[in-house]
Structure 1
Amino acid sequence: MSAGLAVNEETHFRDNLAIRLTDCRIRARDAIRSYRLHGDVVRVFHDVGIIILEPLRIASYLFGHLDGMNDTGTLCEVAPELPTEDRAFVTAIGRLVDQLRTLWCTRGKWESYNALVDVGAVGFRLFDEFGVHARPQPDGQAYINVPFTADTMPAGSAQVDLLRALMGGYRS
């Protein structure tokens, strides 16, 4: 809806998306490595979330703008427009844009906010892809699991843990 009011914003959106996508996987791994030391699942969910969800937000602005500026009614393909080779983001942003276009086409006909659930699911799939798994619990809380992988372990921590185990466990 705002595309006609912000006709010169495309370059800004593209540049902002490129910046947000730069080194996302490295920054997310660093946040998970930090989690291995601080152990706060809420913090790692937040830290990784900022890194991986911000490109989705900016992509929604870019593709909403491109769709709004398009006079022909033909919607652009998402993948060629993305400044990344990271397949997780190409897939996630493609899904997001599909969901947002569906919402736009059905605006005024939503019976509830449940129509937005699929948009949120795109973000949760990306969390899974990046190694932070959040699952709803019956009590309304979430269980957050961050599986160990070689590339998300702090340097030297495996050796320290092995030494501690050999010496009879952890000491305070």
Structure 2
Amino acid sequence: MVAESTGKTETNQAPTTVPEQFAITARGALPSEDEARMLATLIGQVVRQFSRVFDLSQLDGVTVAEDYAQALAELDRGYESNHPLTPSEGAVVGVAMTPSVLRDGMLKSHIVVNAQYLWPLLDDTHPDFQSALHIVAHECAHVEITGKFEAAIPGVLLRKRFTDIRDRARSDVIIACWDEYAATLLSAGFGEDPTEAYEATLITHMGTARQEANESIKAYRLHSGVEKVYCEVYRAYGNLLKYAAYYLGNLAGHGLELSQRPNFEATLAGHWFEAYFHRLDEACYTIAAQYGTWQDHGVFEVIGDIADDMVAEGGILCTSLQDGGLYLDIPYMPETVP
């Protein structure tokens, strides 16, 4: 089901920034064709209204899918990729994503959302209405953030050639942390307040990230796959940084100080992650202060340095060789990791 939006701008409101026409596609085992059309039309209206707040000029379209995982996997991204899109699973279940796509050589963003979480938009008295509204706002924020990055530092997203697995791992963490910090910062105040949920998620991962990384190192002693264990450990610590970025951006967006979150402040005090958390806070704040005016990628690399340091403390030492290669050293068992 596809709905085209072409509404006019009211004179007493900020102008819309979405393309004059953009497709809203509803797919999967939806209740009925009429309800699918109704939901698609409403999502188009909500996105158009949010485009008065966020710059959605680079929006490719929106897919609302009951078959969310399949919709992600089948999204035409405009290029061949060996890394299909998949929803987050485990302690955090992904319900929406705004991947970058290439259209006629131009970088754009396509919003994909699990339809189950947007049906409440049809009834503004529904208990999950505010949650659904926040999901859309958060994904619209991602569209703007990607557009700002591409305008300032073109040719990096989707088109960067990675020199090695460390370069790719660093880049993934850098982009994920900045994107989620900025998206939670910009979307704070629209719909529900997700502070409690972000805090609970971060505390959970502060308690499991090192164990997850250690288990990967233990498994490596049996399978001996150096690149495999490096990617797994980097992902474990990178995910912790990403969830911290969600939390930090949301706090900044709501104007909250850490002292106003006593439960989290007490949990963080003395934790091995404490120094990294504060380093990430400073790094993201610095990037945000230059929002859209970045001259190069240097300011973002600080996040990669934090991730590298976490992985090194976690037991994998990475050294660049003169021939351009990498030497990965795992000198001790996880039990001895400080």
What range describes the TM-score normalised by the shorter chain of this pair? Answer: 0.7 to 0.9
Aligned to 1:98: 282
Asked if structure 1 preserves the Cα contact closer than 8 Å seen for 2:217 and 2:229, the reply is: yes
Cα deviation for residue 44 of structure 1 reads 0.7
Cα deviation for residue 27 of structure 1 reads 2.5
Matched, 1:76 2:258: yes
Q: CA RMSD in A?
A: 2.5
Q: Partners of 2:259 and 2:310 in 1: how far apart?
A: 20
Asked if structure 2 preserves the Cα contact closer than 8 Å seen for 1:31 and 1:47, the reply is: yes
Cα deviation for residue 147 of structure 1 reads 1.0
The TM-score with structure 2 as length reference comes to 0.40
Instruction: Name the % identity.
Output: 23
Asked if structure 1 preserves the Cα contact closer than 8 Å seen for 2:214 and 2:334, the reply is: no
Aligned to 1:34: 219
Matched, 1:44 2:229: yes
Residues 148 and 75 from structure 1, CA distance in 2 versus in 1: closer, same or farther, beyond 3 angstroms?
Answer: same
Q: Partners of 1:14 and 1:22 in 2: how far apart?
A: 13
Secondary structure at the aligned position of 1:30 is classed as: helix
Asked if structure 1 preserves the Cα contact closer than 8 Å seen for 2:189 and 2:254, the reply is: yes
Residues 56 and 150 from structure 1, CA distance in 2 versus in 1: closer, same or farther, beyond 3 angstroms?
Answer: closer
Secondary structure at the aligned position of 2:258 is classed as: coil
Secondary structure at the aligned position of 1:127 is classed as: helix
Secondary structure at the aligned position of 2:291 is classed as: coil
Secondary structure at the aligned position of 1:111 is classed as: coil
Aligned to 1:61: 246
Q: Partners of 1:139 and 1:79 in 2: how far apart?
A: 49
Aligned to 1:162: none
Residues 126 and 149 from structure 1, CA distance in 2 versus in 1: closer, same or farther, beyond 3 angstroms?
Answer: same
Asked if structure 2 preserves the Cα contact closer than 8 Å seen for 1:78 and 1:93, the reply is: no
Residues 75 and 117 from structure 1, CA distance in 2 versus in 1: closer, same or farther, beyond 3 angstroms?
Answer: same
Residues 84 and 36 from structure 1, CA distance in 2 versus in 1: closer, same or farther, beyond 3 angstroms?
Answer: farther
Asked if structure 1 preserves the Cα contact closer than 8 Å seen for 2:202 and 2:243, the reply is: yes
Asked if structure 2 preserves the Cα contact closer than 8 Å seen for 1:99 and 1:119, the reply is: yes
Cα deviation for residue 150 of structure 1 reads 7.1
Q: How many residues align?
A: 149
Residue of structure 2 aligned with 1:117, choices 301, 311, 314: 301
Q: Partners of 2:192 and 2:310 in 1: how far apart?
A: 31
Deviates more, 1:128-137 or 1:98-107: 128-137
Residues 6 and 97 from structure 1, CA distance in 2 versus in 1: closer, same or farther, beyond 3 angstroms?
Answer: farther
Residues 129 and 150 from structure 1, CA distance in 2 versus in 1: closer, same or farther, beyond 3 angstroms?
Answer: closer
Residues 7 and 110 from structure 1, CA distance in 2 versus in 1: closer, same or farther, beyond 3 angstroms?
Answer: same
Secondary structure at the aligned position of 2:315 is classed as: coil
Cα deviation for residue 61 of structure 1 reads 0.6
Aligned to 1:160: none
Equivalent position amino acid for 1:30 in 2: E
Q: Partners of 1:79 and 1:7 in 2: how far apart?
A: 18
Point out where structure 1 has 5 or more consecutive residues left out of the alignment: 153-172
Cα deviation for residue 108 of structure 1 reads 2.9
Asked if structure 1 preserves the Cα contact closer than 8 Å seen for 2:202 and 2:240, the reply is: yes
Higher helix share: 1
- Cα deviation per residue 1:16-59 (whole Å; 9 max; x = unaligned)? 11222223323222211111111111111122122222111011
Residues 150 and 76 from structure 1, CA distance in 2 versus in 1: closer, same or farther, beyond 3 angstroms?
Answer: closer
Residue of structure 2 aligned with 1:12, choices 197, 213, 218: 197
Q: Partners of 1:138 and 1:78 in 2: how far apart?
A: 49
Point out where structure 2 has 5 or more consecutive residues left out of the alignment: 1-185
The TM-score with structure 1 as length reference comes to 0.75
Q: Partners of 2:189 and 2:309 in 1: how far apart?
A: 33
Cα deviation for residue 76 of structure 1 reads 3.3
